[in-house]
Amino acid sequence: MSVDIKEKRRQERIKRKENNRKMVAFMDRVKDPNFSKKLASFPRPTDPRDYSLVTLAPDLESTTVQAGDIPYANTPVPRYTKFPEPVLAGCDEPLPEGVIDLRGIWECYEGPFKGHVERIEQCGNRVVITGGYMIHDMRADGTLENGVNDTNEITGEAHYVSGLFEDGRLNLRLNGKTLVVSRRFEGDDLIWVYGPFTNRLRRLDKPPKS
């Protein structure tokens, strides 16, 4: 075995250990009794546009603003103190056939992330999820190139995640491989699975309580 290969494998082992350490630290934070209180103190969406969904065009030919017409957004540094304005405002490109419509403001009322509020925007195959000081913008086409290339505000880790709608779910895969996050409907509730944590969210029609 060459020296280069040995060094590469050594670096991979170091990276895995560091990622495992960060995940353990993150899980400890989630289990902290005050974690939900911290989530509930994060900025909330107050823009009326957030609670009034854009009417999507019936077909591509009728579309006035396509997903590709709008620049990508990322988690701001330093973190935002006021909930960001919608990224896809005005985009009316219809969702692809078979894609679930996750748009709206969602509040976690049951699960380890109770108190978390997020906004989900969609047009075409583009999805923008804002909440917890993060803005994750992607095209849900299963590629890393068009996936989330961002930072997790909670763990501080870089995110290289692909997104794809599969079997009625939005699945996010770390480095395009390992399934780490999924969102699906169960009745009117949004089921958000984040690693080992399962959360139940309800759609809001007005700003949540502080």
Query: What are 120-151's pLDDT values in tens digits?
Result: 999 999 999 999 899 999 999 999 999 998 87
Structure token pair of residue 19 = 């990622």
The pLDDT value recorded for residue 32 is 72
Q: CB of 201 within 8 A of CB of 192?
A: yes
Q: Which residues pair with 198 in a beta bridge?
A: 193
| Structure confidence at residue 16 as a pLDDT band (50, 70, 90) | low
Distances (CA, A) of 115 to 22, 45, 109, 183: 23, 13, 6, 17
pLDDT of amino acid 153: 61
- 131 and 63 fall within a common domain: yes
Task: Please give the structure tokens belonging to residue 48.
Answer: 């009326």
**189-194: strand order across its sheet:** 134-139, 126-131, 117-123, 104-110, 197-204, 189-194, 178-186, 169-174, 158-166, 148-151
How many structural domains comprise the chain? 2
User: Which pTM was predicted?
Assistant: 0.86
Q: Is 75 within a domain?
A: yes
- Decide if 125 contacts 96 (C-beta within 8 A): yes
128 belongs to a structural domain: yes
- Residue 84 is part of which domain span? 35-204
Q: Please report which confidence band the pLDDT of residue 10 belongs to, taking 50, 70 and 90 as the band edges.
A: confident
Whether 139 and 45 share a structural domain: yes
- Does residue 210 lie within any of the structural domains? no
In terms of domains, do 22 and 87 share one?
no
Q: What is the pLDDT of residue 47?
A: 81
Burial of 106 (0-12, 13-18, 19+ CB in 10 A): buried
Verify that 136 and 169 share a domain, yes or no: yes
Same structural domain, 24 and 43: no
